[in-house]
Amino acid sequence: MKIILSAVYIVAAGLALLGGLIYPQVKEWSYWAAGACGLHALLSLIVASCKVADAGRIAAWCWQGISTFLCVGLL
């Protein structure tokens, strides 16, 4: 599961950075968005390594995914 979480957040951060390369007007936003994805990836990996019930992990990952969308959207 850690590999899947890492891959998803790396792809999301990569797409944000790619948007900054394609559209120079949003370069600063792309750095902030990639940072937000990186922070949420770190939090997700911490949740993955904790000894919590599977339902708790899934709930935490769902809330972190929603938080990532909100952070990137608000940026």
Q: Is the pLDDT of residue 28 over 80?
A: yes
Q: What is the pLDDT of residues 42-69, one digit of tens each?
A: 888 888 888 888 888 888 888 888 888 8
Average pLDDT, the chain: 86
pLDDT, residue 21, reads: 93
Q: Is the pLDDT of residue 18 over 90?
A: yes
Rg (CA), the chain: 13
Are 60 and 53 within 8 A, CB to CB? no
Q: Is the pLDDT of residue 22 over 90?
A: yes
